[in-house]
């Protein structure tokens, strides 16, 4: 009888340990946390801004100290690292229409009143780069209604507007310099578009 109780106790402890480890792994590899870690690693430190397209394994972030901006798709497998000066502008697109934008050397176009419920909210970052001129982050899609952790459309629009303001601030503080050779690279190593020099890989 004592052996049976000891066995049941051991099984209970083992089950609790496995549950704890499983919960910890799920927390560690949760999409948003994982992408933010990759952004922080690519930028060489804590970013000043990060935005994640939940459910689409895509993100963008920037760090003023390192003068870098990174965009990534496919969970970081496809990523580009830019100098901040390569950013030309940002647009908020709702249902295929550009409703707000911040573009270098142009007055900012503020968001007008949105009538009805949108079916798609997208933040587009625009770069001075002929190979990869833009990067779209779909912050809200109709199918997100099926996901528990998805943003509501209003929250997605507010997040995109916040990034328009960040983009405008970056454009004011950085001069325009053409980026000639951006290179896509897989995580964990990201290639930085250079200014006519050899690309440097980041650890």
Asked if residue 16 belongs to a domain, the reply is no
Q: How many domains does the chain have?
A: 1
Backbone angles phi, psi at 78, to 5 degrees: -115, 115
**196 falls within a domain:** no
State the pTM of this model: 0.71
Query: Domain of 37?
Result: 28-173
Quick: pLDDT tens for 40-99: 999 999 999 999 999 899 999 999 999 999 999 999 889 999 999 999 999 999 999 999
Alpha carbon distance 65, 71 (integer Å): 17
What pLDDT does residue 16 have?
57
Q: What are the DSSP E strand ranges found in 36-188?
A: 49-53, 58-63, 68-73, 78-83, 87-94, 97-103, 120-127, 134-141
Average pLDDT over residues 191-199: 46
CB 67 within 8 A of CB 84: yes
Q: How confident is the model at residue 13, as a pLDDT? A: 60
Nearest one of 107, 103, 108 to 87, comparing CA atoms: 103
Mean pLDDT of the chain: 79
């Amino acid at each position: 009888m004592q052996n049976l109780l000891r066995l049941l106790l051991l099984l209970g402890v083992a089950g609790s340990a496995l549950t704890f480890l499983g919960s910890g792994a799920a927390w560690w590899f949760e999409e948003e946390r994982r992408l933010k870690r990759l952004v922080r690693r690519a930028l060489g430190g804590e970013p000043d801004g990060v935005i994640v397209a939940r459910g689409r394994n895509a993100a963008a972030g920037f760090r003023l100290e390192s003068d870098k901006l990174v965009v990534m798709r496919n969970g970081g497998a496809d990523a580009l690292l830019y100098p901040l000066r390569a950013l030309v502008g940002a647009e908020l697109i709702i249902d295929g229409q550009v409703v707000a934008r911040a573009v270098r050397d142009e007055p900012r176009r503020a968001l007008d009143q949105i009538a009805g419920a949108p079916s798609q909210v997208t933040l587009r970052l625009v770069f001075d780069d002929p190979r990869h001129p833009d990067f779209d982050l779909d912050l809200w899609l109709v199918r997100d209604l099926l996901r528990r952790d998805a943003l509501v459309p209003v929250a997605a629009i507010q997040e995109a507007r916040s990034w328009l303001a960040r983009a405008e601030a970056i454009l004011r503080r950085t001069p325009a310099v053409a980026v000639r050779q951006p290179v896509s690279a897989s995580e964990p190593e990201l290639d930085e578009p250079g200014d006519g020099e050899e690309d440097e890989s980041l650890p």
